[in-house]
Structure 1
Amino acid sequence: MIDALPVWQIALVLLIFIWSGFVRTALGFGGAALSLPLFLLIIDNPVEIIPIIGLHLLLSAGISLVSSYQHIDWRYLGKTLIVILPFKIIGVIGLLNLPATVLNISVYLITLAYAISYLMKTTPRIRVPGLDYALLAGGGYISGTSLIGAPLIIAVFAKSLPPIRLRATLFCLWILLVLIKMLGFIVTATPLNVNWALYTLPFMAIGHILGEKAHKKILQVDKAKFLRIIGLGLASICLIGLARTLYVSIG
């Protein structure tokens, strides 16, 4: 339990929440994927921390959308939700039981290919009919079973939406997907750790404010540089995720 941690580890947890808030707000994604591996170095059980991250995301995304809702691409969001939502629900209720390690490695490798293409100033060269739909479906399912489905979804969204619309549209999507996840926690009587969500809220807020400033600077760059920033974020998620997945499977 978080309550049982020594003071120095609680201090590290608070610093990670600042990092989580910063990344989420600056890029529109990555708050969970880039912080959860760090949290798991301190807290063994991810179920203790995931509800807190979810509650923080709902709050920070909601605040950001107050001033940027006009940038949501509702048409694109609706089109992709038709694909994502059924698989999200399947993942939440566990209708399919696919090997977690295989799923994780597949997600990270596919996303890493997209990240490299963005870093190299190219668009992905893969021309497979229905590939984007497959990535959205896979992202929906895996986001239902864990928190690592977002990279697959972002890989599709980033090449389809202009920078000004990407973060707002993603935030709207994340709110809906996290609400479904939180409902799953409530149905299964999983503790939401609301008290710790409140205790850590000021630290997430610090990261959120810093992230807002960084996001304004990011929007000033051209599309090629924007995609390189997205690629760097995705690549970081993939490399950290692959390292932890392989470490856990080998260990």
Structure 2
Amino acid sequence: MADLHTWQYLAIALLFVWSGFVRSGLGFGGAVLTLPFLLMVYNAPLVFLPVIAMHLLFFSFLTIATAHFRAREGRAENTVNWPFLRYAFALMIVPKLIGVAGVLTLPTNVVSGFIFVVVSVYAVSYLLQRPFKSNSRTVDTLFMLLGGYVSGTSLVAAPLVVPVAASRVQKHELRDTLFVLWFVLVAIKLAAFAWTGVDLQWRATLLLLPCAAIGHMLGLRFHRYTLRSDTGVFFRVLGGGLLVVSLAGLLRMIFGG
């Protein structure tokens, strides 16, 4: 990320605070709720995806390990639903690998456009207070298969995977169960990046780690709040902001602005 303007560096730093916040606060969204903004600042998915991925590995491991030790000591109940994870991995691994190959070969504008479209649909579902839901095993399976592919292409599988997980696990298990799922899927993606010679952006990852850590700590507090409160207003505001940013990004790509 060399030769950027000062405002771009500052915007990226603030967006990684946001990324850390939504990841630890919701258990998902570190990519899907941050990439559209990052791509508006600097349109380069393969610059930001490795940084987001490595931050996710670090903070998800830290959170899961903390929860595990608290459970072993009897200070908290188990927060990972392993039966759901076995179900998810069985469906998602193969399309995940196919998706990873896609992000390495498709043009930058195609990947960016795909991300903007997916997030726009996600945002509308929040604005209408009608998030993706399914009432059948067939639809659940379709969502998980497609989620695996989307995770491979852009790390924005949450809109498809979270509704299935939310219908199969307890509320207090959702975040940490998703963390384990994202950890494995992201590790596969990073391994593919390393194998094919993609720059993993180690320097940027370390420089932005304090920003993500600030967001992570704020997100932990927000997560405790969401376990006992209704957050519908928050998601509606978030959905509106994401829709504006995603549509603006698509228009910029179409008209070359």
TM range (shorter): 0.7 to 0.9
Distance (whole Å) between structure 1 residues aligned to residue 206 and residue 20 of structure 2: 14
Bigger mean CA offset, 7-16 vs 23-32: 7-16
Counterparts of 1:89-168 in structure 2, within 5 Å, are 89-94=97-102, 107-108=118-119, 111=122, 115=126, 119=129, 124=133, 127=135, 130-168=138-176
Are the structure 2 counterparts of residues 32 and 168 from structure 1 closer, same or farther at C-alpha, using a change threshold of 3 Å?
same
Question: 1:179 matched to which residue of 2?
Answer: 187
Per the alignment, in what secondary structure is the counterpart of residue 177 of structure 2? Answer: helix
Per the alignment, in what secondary structure is the counterpart of residue 63 of structure 1? Answer: helix
Per the alignment, in what secondary structure is the counterpart of residue 43 of structure 2? Answer: coil
- Structure 2 residue runs of 5 or longer lacking an equivalent are 69-77
Per the alignment, in what secondary structure is the counterpart of residue 51 of structure 2? Answer: helix
Question: 1:35 matched to which residue of 2?
Answer: 34
Does structure 2 retain, via aligned residues, the 8 Å contact 1:114–1:231?
Answer: no
Query: Scaled by the length of structure 1, what TM-score is found?
Result: 0.83
Q: 1:5-48: per-residue Cα shift (whole Å, max 9, x none)?
A: 23332122111111110111100111111111111122221211
Q: 1:118-161: per-residue Cα shift (whole Å, max 9, x none)?
A: x36x994x555601100110010111111222211112112222
Please tell me whether residue 244 in structure 1 is matched to residue 249 in structure 2.
yes
Root-mean-square deviation (Å):
3.0
Please tell me whether residue 15 in structure 1 is matched to residue 31 in structure 2.
no
Please tell me whether residue 197 in structure 1 is matched to residue 205 in structure 2.
yes
Structure 2 counterpart of 1:44, which letter?
Answer: N
The number of equivalent residue pairs is 243
Does structure 1 retain, via aligned residues, the 8 Å contact 2:124–2:243?
Answer: no
- Structure 1 residue runs of 5 or longer lacking an equivalent are none
Per the alignment, in what secondary structure is the counterpart of residue 135 of structure 1? Answer: helix
Structure 1 counterpart of 2:193, which letter?
Answer: F
Are the structure 2 counterparts of residues 74 and 17 from structure 1 closer, same or farther at C-alpha, using a change threshold of 3 Å?
same
Compute the displacement of 1:107 (Å): 4.3
Question: 1:58 matched to which residue of 2?
Answer: 57
Compute the displacement of 1:68 (Å): 2.2
Structure 2 counterpart of 1:18, which letter?
Answer: V
Q: 1:191-226: per-residue Cα shift (whole Å, max 9, x none)?
A: 0010110111111100001111111111123xxx36
Question: 1:76 matched to which residue of 2?
Answer: 84
Distance (whole Å) between structure 2 residues aligned to residue 234 and residue 73 of structure 1: 28
Compute the displacement of 1:94 (Å): 3.6
Distance (whole Å) between structure 2 residues aligned to residue 82 and residue 232 of structure 1: 35
Distance (whole Å) between structure 1 residues aligned to residue 152 and residue 79 of structure 2: 26
Question: 1:209 matched to which residue of 2?
Answer: 217
Alignment equivalent of 1:220, drawn from 200, 220, 228? 228
